[in-house]
Amino acid sequence: MNTQELAAIAQALISRSKGILAADESNSTLKKRFDTIKVESTEENRRAYRELLFTATGVDEYVSGVILYDETLRQKTREGIPFPVYLAKRNMVPGIKVDMGTKSLPEFPGDTITEGLDGLRERLAEYYRLGARFAKWRAVLNIAEGGPSAYAVDANAAALARYASLCQEAGIVPIVEPEILMDGDHTFQSCEQVTDRVLESVFTHLFAARIHLEGMILKPNMVIAGKKSPVQPSPDEVAAATIRCLRRHVPSAVPGIAFLSGGQSPSEATLHLNLMNATKNLPWTLTFSYGRALQEDVLMSWSGKPERVEAAQKALFKRAKLNGLAATGLYKSSMENTPF
């Protein structure tokens, strides 16, 4: 394992004022997003949409890396440049989602396990050849129905550690993503308890698998209440509880933590990140690895119309810039209404 190379990639991904654009929606997830703007999910429309994202002026100031889906890693710009080559030229590290999605866990209603370990060593070798230098694997934990079970937490953490060790062997930085869903009416306190349990298990398994901590990135959820919970925490409470959980479980050797947005609105996800970055003396860099919170406004603005590409790219630039500012604690809510 080339630990220096892994650490250098991880450092590039968490450079100051920059974060990660998660554009790795599977074809079925992207179809759902396209349905909301009445765009057909053809291979060419998916390519055109990703080209819109990757070629937006100025985004490279705030985006250090882009997570791609298998199909996208193999697609090209209109000029025929493979997307990973194009991104690397703009100094945005190409990444790849390598998990194969979730399946239900027999005997554990509501719990899932993420699949994709079989053949992963060979797939990673190919992804490296195609230009990917970091990867993502998402474990999904569900608080609804009294979950997640201890078994689901342990099985998902074990899979994350197996995935991370195969990535590091291949020279690819693993993004370790245990996501506790915000679906349901659970309290803010129960999200904190479950986040504690999950992070404890994840790092126990990462240690056991001898993961080189300096060459990985953690992608956790923030501590928030269920979407349907009648009591919602203040943004300051979210920031404080999330930092509390991370301090308890994430070793300072991990260079960076890049949050998922998980269904928060774009401005909420930016505000929470900014408040966390106002905390003094954190051992890690805190940044974003947002999918929906970066793309929501872009999709609405684009709506599949070629004449709307420029406006949609401006919407991406705006959200990337606001999150870049939040990654250094310099965002203000009033900026949401300033023209860019």
The set of catalytic residues is: 219
Name the residue nearer to ligand 13P (CB basis): 76 or 227. 227
Each residue 176-215 as x (binds ligand 13P by CB under 6 A) or -, in order, gives -x--------------------------------------
Residue 140 in contact with ligand 13P, rule: CB under 6 A: no
Count of positions on this chain that bind ligand 13P (CB under 6 A):
10
Give the total residue count for the chain.
340
Residue 115 and residue 326: Cα distance in Å, rounded? 33
Burial profile 269-301: b = 16 or more Cβ within 10 angstroms, e = fewer: bbbbbbbbbeeeeeebbbbbbbbbbbbbbbbeb
Q: Which is nearer to ligand 13P, 212 or 319 (CB)?
A: 319
| Rounded Cα distance, 142 and 106, in Å | 15
Q: Is 262 in the site for ligand 13P (CB under 6 A)?
A: yes
Burial degree of 106 (CB within 10 A; 0-12, 13-18, 19+): exposed
- The pair of three-digit structure tokens given for residue 245, joined into one six-digit string: 């959980």
Tell me whether residue 79 or residue 199 sits nearer to ligand 13P (CB atom): 199
Q: Which of 6, 13, 21, 22 binds ligand 13P (CB under 6 A)?
A: 22
Q: Does 290 bind ligand 13P (CB under 6 A)?
A: yes
Binding residue for ligand 13P (CB under 6 A) from 197, 249, 292, 321? 292
Q: At its nearest, how many Å lie between ligand 13P and the CB of residue 121? A: 22
**Residue 293 is a binding residue for ligand 13P (CB under 6 A):** yes
Residue found under tokens 């420029």: 310
Distance (Å, rounded) from C-alpha 300 to C-alpha 94? 25
Q: What letter would DSSP give residue 82?
A: B
Say how far apart CA 291 and CA 316 lie, in whole Å.
Answer: 11
Residue 143 sits in the site that holds ligand 13P (CB under 6 A): no
Report the residue number, 223 or 260, with the smaller CB distance to ligand 13P.
260
Closest approach of ligand 13P to the CB of residue 294, in Å:
7
Strands 217-218 and 93-97: unpaired
Residues that bind ligand 13P (CB under 6 A): 22, 138, 177, 260-262, 290-293
